Amino acid sequence: MEELELSVVEFVALVNQTLEFAYSSVTITGELANYRVSKNRWVYFDLKDDEAIVHFFGTIYQLPGPLEEGMLLKVKASPRLHPRYGFTLNVQRITPSGAGSIKKAASLLQAKLASEGLFDVSRKRPLPYPPQKIGLITSSEAAAYTDFMKILRTRWAGTHIQLSDITVQGEQAISQIVAAIETQNALPTPCEVLVIIRGGGSAEDLQAFNSEPVTRAVATSRIPTMVAIGHERDISLAELAADQRASTPSNAAELLVPDKNQVVKALIAQRATMRQKLITVINNNRESLTERINQLKRRLQDWVNHEKGWLNSQQAILQVLSPEAALAHGYALILQSGKLVGKDRRFKVGEDISVLLHASRLYAKITAVEKRTNVSLEDKEKING
């Protein structure tokens, strides 16, 4: 077999070609060592076990969150031979491995995000109750989806669901959850509330909900959010960042909508209460109206009596001042041509007059006219009888 003779750059190219063909990517699990960040951009670290150590290179954008020496990591990378720096593995994805490391990574990330105020209570927004349109992010094949929809439909039918069907664990979970949140927020008519759910699982199964990208996406959603991760004692970072947390997917449905049976009972009770109040108001108003009617009747009767008294007094005055009353007292009325003669009328000798007495009428002719300016005492006595 002929021995290959290569230049340095040719050798590097050949090795990388071989590595690309045979091991385009590998996933290695080991303990984090020699971790450092350069220029706030580049990341260098090693993974080691009891017998070996390998070097890794990546960017800060590939970090799942803050890391500490000694953590157990699972790193997906592509092996490469660098022309100047030798053999290394270029990072594609980093995830904590093992319950202890996962919990430690979540704790470090929680401290970091808490210092930025992502979990502050003052940031929490109220959720509409009940919402007419819900954006749901979950796997349609998961039990969490079935439980949520069953409870929601049983309690409050008619709510529209805008489903983002995604993977809730595994390599693609983080990117799919973030993309679903962004897509829901970008809808022309966004939902009123965004609900992210999944059932329980191990720490590794739930790791996506403790990742920085998902936690930040939940915190920055312009749609109010609810996160429900079921059957897990530890609260995920996504739940802490959400506007409201539910203990399980079923509990999320219970918190979002009322129980229609209870609402119907409450409405029936409210109707009975309002009916009783209305009857009370009607009875009170009826009593008040009856009292006012009686008052008006009394006032009207008083007015009628007053007016009757006034009319009677006027009638008495008219009777006293009437010509008939004067005639009854011995006075007489002088008429000429059927008309009453006034006090200033001047008579002439020969004119005919009639004199109207109380019980008779006299007809006379003027034979003499005597002008008098004063009435003598004798005449007054004659007049008075």
pLDDT in tens, 203-261: 778 888 988 999 999 999 999 999 999 765 778 999 999 999 999 999 999 999 999 88
Question: Is there a contact between 362 and 384 (Cβ–Cβ < 8 Å)?
Answer: no
* pLDDT above 80 (res 199): yes
Q: What's the pLDDT at 209?
A: 92
Q: Are residues 190 and 221 in the same domain?
A: yes
CATH of the domain at 231: 3.40.50.261
Assess if residue 103 is contained within a domain.
no
pLDDT score recorded for residue 135: 96
Q: 152 and 234 share a domain? A: yes
> Does residue 105 sit within a domain?
no
pTM: 0.63
Average pLDDT over residues 26-52: 90
Which class for 263: exposed (0-12), middle (13-18), buried (19 or more C-beta within 10 A)?
Answer: middle
Encoding tokens for residue 334? 């002088």
Residues 144 and 163 occupy one common structural domain: yes
Residues 125 and 254 in one domain: yes
Q: Which residue's entry shows tokens 């270029």? A: 90
Residue 80 lies in a domain: yes
What digits encode the pLDDT tens for the residues 46-93?
A: 998 888 999 999 999 888 888 888 888 889 999 998 888 888 999 998
User: Is 111 among the domain residues?
Assistant: no
Residue 14: count of CB within 10 angstroms of its CB = 13
Structural domain boundaries, residue 343: 329-384
User: What pLDDT was estimated at residue 207?
Assistant: 84
Same domain, 70 and 43: yes
Q: How confident is the model at residue 117 (pLDDT cuts 50, 70, 90)?
A: very high
Domain membership of residue 107 (yes or no) is no
Lookup result for tokens 């890391």: 67
Residue 146 tokens read as 């079935």
Q: In this structure, is residue 267 part of a structural domain?
A: yes
**CATH code (residue 74):** 2.40.50.140
**327-354, pLDDT tens digit by residue?**
777 788 888 877 888 777 777 888 888 8
Length of the chain: 385
- Please check whether residue 79 is in contact with residue 15, taking contact to mean a CB–CB distance below 8 angstroms: no
In the predicted model, what is the mean pLDDT of the chain? 87
83 & 168 share domain? no
Comparing 264 with 185, the larger pLDDT belongs to 185
pLDDT at 362 > cutoff 90: no
Amino acid at 345: R
Q: What is the pLDDT of residue 249?
A: 93
Residue 250, C-beta contacts closer than 8 angstroms, at least 6 positions apart? 147, 148, 151, 230
Same domain, 267 and 237: no
Residue 360 falls inside a structural domain: yes
Same domain? For 85 and 181 the reply is no
Query: Is residue 46 located within the same domain as residue 175?
Result: no
- Residue 106 forms part of a structural domain: no
The total number of structural domains in the chain stands at 4
Are 59 and 146 found together in one domain? no
One domain for residues 221 and 268: no
Average pLDDT of span 9-15: 88
Q: Which band of pLDDT confidence, cut at 50, 70 and 90, is reported for residue 151?
A: very high
Instruction: Answer with the one of 301, 321, 341 that is the final residue of a domain.
Output: 321
Is 380 a residue whose pLDDT tops 60? no
pLDDT level of residue 134 (50, 70, 90 thresholds): very high
HSE (side-chain half, CA atoms, 13 Å) at 285: 6
Sign of the four-CA dihedral 236, 241, 150, 145: negative
- Does residue 380 share a domain with residue 340? yes
**Among the residues of the chain, which ranges form H helices?**
8-22, 99-115, 143-155, 173-185, 212-220, 237-241, 249-256, 260-321, 323-328, 377-384
Taking alpha carbons only, the member of 167, 166, 169, 170 closest to residue 183 is 166
Please say which residue of 231, 258, 285 terminates a domain: 258
